[in-house]
């Protein structure tokens, strides 16, 4: 039976290390597919100007294609050249919720993420995306330093 691992990327160095670790795991497991996920942080409860609303659909498409081009596609390519099966997903939403949803939809056995790089005031109040994921995920989570 094939197993699946979800890797969460954030476009930074920690994402790269998460990817490398997931690649290593997949090779050890053997029959293992990888899903490379990039989450565009977004909340349906934010406040916007009328103009931003009018252009929202256009911006969303742009955000998705930028994430694909800059982060997801190159990662998939790298995995495929090293002999693994990999697919990519770009989605908007809360990072922890979206990664967990992706892992549930694909019956993943594990989520691998980098330690998040955000900091400051917001982190103190709401916690980082990584710690939120660790606390709420329904599958094991590996956090790569």
Which residues form the interface with another protein (CB under 8 A)?
A: 40, 42, 44-58, 60-61, 63-64, 91-93, 98, 101
Please identify, using beta-carbon distances, which residue of 30 and 50 lies nearer to another protein.
50
Query: Of 114, 112, 116, nearest to 86 (Cα)?
Result: 112
| Minimum gap (Å) between residue 100 Cβ and another protein | 12
| Minimum gap (Å) between residue 102 Cβ and another protein | 11
> Which DSSP string do the residues of 42-107 spell out, in sequence order?
--TT----HHHHHTHHHHHHHHHHHHIIIIIHHHHHHHHHTT-EEEEEEEEE-HHHHHHHHHHHTT
Please identify, using beta-carbon distances, which residue of 95 and 144 lies nearer to another protein.
95
Residues in CB range of 82: below 8 A, 6 or more apart:
23
The owner of tokens 């094939």 is 2
d(CA 53, CA 72): 27
Residues in CB range of 29: below 8 A, 6 or more apart:
3, 5
| Minimum gap (Å) between residue 87 Cβ and another protein | 17
Please identify, using beta-carbon distances, which residue of 18 and 90 lies nearer to another protein.
90
Please identify, using beta-carbon distances, which residue of 57 and 124 lies nearer to another protein.
57
| Minimum gap (Å) between residue 95 Cβ and another protein | 12
């Amino acid at each position: 039976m094939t197993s699946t691992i979800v890797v969460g990327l954030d476009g930074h160095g920690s994402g790269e290390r998460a990817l490398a670790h997931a690649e290593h795991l997949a090779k050890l497991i053997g029959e293992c597919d990888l899903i490379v996920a990039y989450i565009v942080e977004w909340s349906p409860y934010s406040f916007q100007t009328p103009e931003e609303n009018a252009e929202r659909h256009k911006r969303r498409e742009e955000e998705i294609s930028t994430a694909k081009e800059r982060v997801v596609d190159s990662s998939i390519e790298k995995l495929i050249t090293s002999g693994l099966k990999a697919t990519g997903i770009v989605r908007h939403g809360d990072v922890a919720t979206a990664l967990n949803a992706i892992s549930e939809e694909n019956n993943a056995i594990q989520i691998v993420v980098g330690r998040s790089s955000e900091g400051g005031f917001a982190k103190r109040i709401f916690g980082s995306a990584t710690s939120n994921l660790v606390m709420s995920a329904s599958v094991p989570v590996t956090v790569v330093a």
